[in-house]
Structure 1
Amino acid sequence: MAGALLGALLLLELLGGGDGKNEELRLYHHLFDNYDPERRPVKEPEDTVTVTLKVTLTNLISLNEKEETLTTSVWIGVDWQDYRLNFSKDDFGGIETLRVPSELVWLPEIVLENNIDGQFGVAYDANVLVYEGGYLSWLPPAIYRSSCAVEVTYFPFDWQNCSLVFRSQTYNAGEVEFVFGVDEEGETISNIDIDTEAYTENGEWAIDFCPGLIHHHGGSADDPGGIDVVYTLIIRRKPLFYTINIIVPCVLISGLVLLAYFLPAQAGGQKCTVSINVLLAQTVFLFLIAQKTPETSLSVPMLGRYLIFVMVVATIIVVNCVIVLNLSLRTPTTHAASPRLRHVLLELLPRLLGSRAPPEPPRAASPPRRASSVGLLLRAEELILKKPRSELVFEGQRHRHGPWTAALCQSLGAAAPEVRCCVDAVNFVAESTRDQEASGEEVSDWVRMGKALDNVCFWAALVLFGVGSSLIFLGGYFNQVPELPYPPCM
């Protein structure tokens, strides 16, 4: 590369280039004829080369949570002074700057120590600018993939602390000293410089702080140790994408499990179907989150904790539906309700929840009895234990229709046993109807007890769902970047 540049300059000189080109070639020969790029630019071995470092961030490309790598695009500004390249513009036709390839001059060999892909150098070896007085400036671009420990406890409302550690792999702190650059006003630029006009904003991450620190380590009287320049990038995740595509659908689908309580108490199968469908949808969301977050057992993402919480709530609701179904389908032939259970589920809980039992339908008024019926009831006490019911019926006809009709009925009762059997069958049907009505009332009480238990569990599940969701998401809301003694980057 140096030979090609020298040959080009000689060719321009032979072709009769302008005086400026001749002066630039003469300056090049003056500076590099006896120049050794392997030697440090110091007059004495114990002297230290002061290197000014300034990092400009042009793009925060990505943060890969699975691989825990941060990819950034930066410009590394390095300035130092080399007494061997000192010249005056008055001696070389007013030339103030000379551009030469980076391999022709001494470099401090700054590398990114915490890179993860083995690319320690820069992406493009730009030319070095040599100024009057021996001042050199080098501004190469680089794309670095550095390691970054990702903390996913509050995902997707999290922020990460990533670092770019620069150091010289060849020289120690006694040979090369790093300092931060200064701006036009003379203030030290210790943080990463971000040019708002050239910076490309990342759609997922926002940069809050980017301070820099020069760290000396391993120093002693005999060994000066090394020196690191650590730039810290505190980046905050933008949660809008995850809120719209994961959190809102997850909350809406999880809220559907509460609708199972609005189904009738006897519809246990439909209740379980609704709850299990919600469980399956939550499992799909949990699988999506597992693909996004890193495979680590050190912490559980906040969104994962929320999905586990709503899955537990849905499981409890399924168990509750089974219990309510078992209670609602009980019958007097299999179970007997205790008075205490009736008092709690039919009187106490409805009163506490503000729901009362439906009013009983008014009973139809019994028709007025005839005067003869009163006499029949008075005689019933004497005859009910002495005569069969069929004979009582025919005996009562004498007082109702007269002696002739009563005698006829009595003769029919005595002459036709089939008529007596019909009367007994009618009485049996009446008693069966009364038993069925009593059994229906008992079944209705079991259904109402199941409905009361359903109402209690609905309010308990609603409170549990609301309070649990609020506590989990409030943890992410309060997970803010701590206030640091550094100005914001943008």
Structure 2
Amino acid sequence: MFFTFIIFLLIVDYSFEQKCNRERIHTWNAEQRLICDLLDNYQVKWGRPVRNMTEGVEVRFGLQLIHISDLDEKNQVLITNQWQIYEWDDEALTWDPEDYDDLVDIRLPIKRIWQPDVTLYNYADTRLEEKREVLATVYHNGTVFWKPMSIFKSTCQIDIRRFPYDSQKCSMKFGSWTYDSSKVNLRFYRDIQKFDLNSYVKSNEWSIVGNSASRNTEKYDCCPEIYVDLKFHIQLERRGGFYNYILILPCVLLSCLTCILFWLPPESPSKLVLGMNIFTSFFVLLLLLYKNMPSNAEHIPRIGAYYCLNMGMIATSTFLCTIVVHIYFRGAGPMPTILRRVFLEFLAPFFCMVPHTNTYQQHAVNGLMPPIKATCDGDKFEKFELLKERFKSFGDKRQISSTHDDTLEVLDMMNDHSQQQQHHHHHHFQQNQEPSLTQQIQQQISASITFMTVETDLKEIRDFLRTTRKRMEDKEAKTKTVNDWKQVALVLDRTFFFIYFIAIIVSLAVMFPR
């Protein structure tokens, strides 16, 4: 199959090179006779079409941009569909129109005549030929006009720092590869020093914001001659509407979720889980961005830096959330004075955060803490009841004792008054009074014992109250310390929120000014 194709090419090439058969020239029209005459007299197609070798050939070159097919950021290649415009004078292709029925122009195959070797210097293509085969228009004065269709793949230095709102400036350098400026003088076609956009089809992704061209002369290290080149510049601005929904909107939404992360209570286990999920989401977006970016870029895109910034802040916030949760649940010990002044006395009022004033009432109202159970033991209540009974019995005894003492005084007065009259009853009265005195002494002894018992019980109760008070004060102090640490954790969380919020706003304003 390969050899068949080679043979076919040789046959085609031979058909182009062969001479005209003039035996049937009387049947040809004027155009056929003219083409046959011109090509038969065209001796060498590789030599410059000038009679005086000291003269140069002026080639007028231009580009008509049809469509921007693609700008491959990863490979840094610009793919465009263009029409090349060539115009030069060929002294071997002139004729008198009167000899050929006033024919002023004909079409010739470009391979049968001389053509300038104008090539794209900054090409990035594996193809050997980027031009399509088209005929050249030749006029009677020797002017050759050739407009082939071409698909160019040129290198373009990509600046991805502002992706997807970036603007790229690409250049295409054209010049003769072998002829220097003294042999082929390259100039702009009709002095149009830019891309011709009359037939341009708008791209869905890129907008043309700059279009210019320049003529340059350069001397290379390989050769002492001076070479001329035409450099066409085009500035493209990306239309970021598609990327707004693919990369920007998810990024903003995830940033908002990160802000919500700092408002979740520290005791919530979903706080750390949400942070890790947001981190994973940003990592997926970063992978999507990596697929479109060149791996050897000098700069990273700002949106990539924004992703990395968010990932770093989320990782930091997750770490800080761990610290906040630790402080919230494990905060104990005396708080340093600097922390108290900074977080509780300065930042808490600044963030309009209400401190814990009455811990027990607040927790009781919120239903977060059960009511405190009594710390007194059961035997202490029994002592209170026993002491109450003893006080009651002691009061009854005091009343009986006072009544008995009054009765004794009345009896003494009666005895003094009737001592002389009732002297014969004295012996009987003494016998009745002795049991009363014994009973009084017993009552006094019982009262003394009762007072001692009450005093002992009162001492135990006083010691118990002191101990209970000490325990309550210690517990209140410990609870106050724990609540202060919890308040520090909440203030720290709120501080991280405002730092993250400010960082997000500043980064959005800097990275995406539009």
Same-fold call, TM cutoff 0.5: yes
- Conservation of the 8 A alpha-carbon contact between 1:9 and 1:25: no
Q: Which amino acid aligns with 1:272?
A: L
* Pair 392,97 (structure 1): closer, same or farther in 2 beyond 3 Å: closer
Provide the rounded CA distance (Å) in 1 between the counterparts of 2:194 and 2:175: 16
How far off its partner does 1:64 sit? 1.2
How far off its partner does 1:437 sit? 4.8
1:68 to 76, 80, 83: 76
- Equivalent residue number for residue 29 of structure 1: 36
- Equivalent residue number for residue 258 of structure 1: 259
- Conservation of the 8 A alpha-carbon contact between 2:383 and 2:457: no
1:271-304: CA deviation from partner (whole Å, max 9, x where unpaired)? 2222222111111111111111001152111111
Provide the rounded CA distance (Å) in 2 between the counterparts of 1:199 and 1:325: 62
How far off its partner does 1:107 sit? 0.9
- Equivalent residue number for residue 324 of structure 2: 324
Asked which structure has the greater CA Rg, the reply is 2
- Equivalent residue number for residue 507 of structure 2: 468
2:127 to 92, 108, 119: 119
Q: Structure 1 stretch 210-219 or stretch 257-266: which is displaced more? A: 210-219
- Conservation of the 8 A alpha-carbon contact between 2:61 and 2:86: yes
How far off its partner does 1:458 sit? 1.9
Provide the rounded CA distance (Å) in 2 between the counterparts of 1:337 and 1:97: 100
Instruction: Tell me how many residue pairs correspond in the alignment.
Output: 435
Q: Which amino acid aligns with 1:470?
A: A
- Equivalent residue number for residue 370 of structure 2: none
Matching of residues 21-420 of structure 1 within 5 Å: 22-36=29-43, 37-119=45-127, 121-182=129-190, 188-195=191-198, 198-218=199-219, 223-267=224-268, 269-296=269-296, 298-330=298-330, 334-338=332-336, 341-357=339-355, 360=358, 403-404=395-396
Q: Which amino acid aligns with 2:194?
A: N
Does structure 1 residue 450 correspond to structure 2 residue 458? Answer: no
Question: TM-score w.r.t. structure 2 length?
Answer: 0.74
* Pair 327,470 (structure 1): closer, same or farther in 2 beyond 3 Å: same
Provide the rounded CA distance (Å) in 2 between the counterparts of 1:233 and 1:64: 15
Provide the rounded CA distance (Å) in 2 between the counterparts of 1:211 and 1:316: 49
The unaligned stretches of length 5 or more in structure 1 are 183-187, 364-387, 478-490
Taking only the aligned residue pairs, the percentage that are identical comes to 24
Q: Which amino acid aligns with 1:22?
A: N
- Conservation of the 8 A alpha-carbon contact between 2:42 and 2:92: yes
Provide the rounded CA distance (Å) in 2 between the counterparts of 1:28 and 1:105: 12
Provide the rounded CA distance (Å) in 1 between the counterparts of 2:397 and 2:503: 76
Q: Which amino acid aligns with 2:98?
A: D
- Conservation of the 8 A alpha-carbon contact between 2:17 and 2:112: no
Provide the rounded CA distance (Å) in 1 between the counterparts of 2:511 and 2:14: 67
Provide the rounded CA distance (Å) in 2 between the counterparts of 1:140 and 1:441: 88
* Pair 328,77 (structure 1): closer, same or farther in 2 beyond 3 Å: same
CA RMSD of aligned residues (A): 3.9
The unaligned stretches of length 5 or more in structure 2 are 1-11, 362-379, 399-445
1:110-143: CA deviation from partner (whole Å, max 9, x where unpaired)? 2222212243534322111111211111111111
Provide the rounded CA distance (Å) in 2 between the counterparts of 1:168 and 1:461: 58
Question: TM-score w.r.t. structure 1 length?
Answer: 0.77
1:350-378: CA deviation from partner (whole Å, max 9, x where unpaired)? 22223333664999xxxxxxxxxxxxxxx
SS of alignment partner, residue 83 of structure 1: strand
1:316-357: CA deviation from partner (whole Å, max 9, x where unpaired)? 2123212222222235xx412345544443333222223333
Q: Which amino acid aligns with 2:195?
A: I
Q: Which amino acid aligns with 1:137?
A: F
- Conservation of the 8 A alpha-carbon contact between 2:390 and 2:450: no
- Conservation of the 8 A alpha-carbon contact between 1:413 and 1:420: no
* Pair 402,414 (structure 1): closer, same or farther in 2 beyond 3 Å: closer
* Pair 210,459 (structure 1): closer, same or farther in 2 beyond 3 Å: same
* Pair 352,223 (structure 1): closer, same or farther in 2 beyond 3 Å: closer
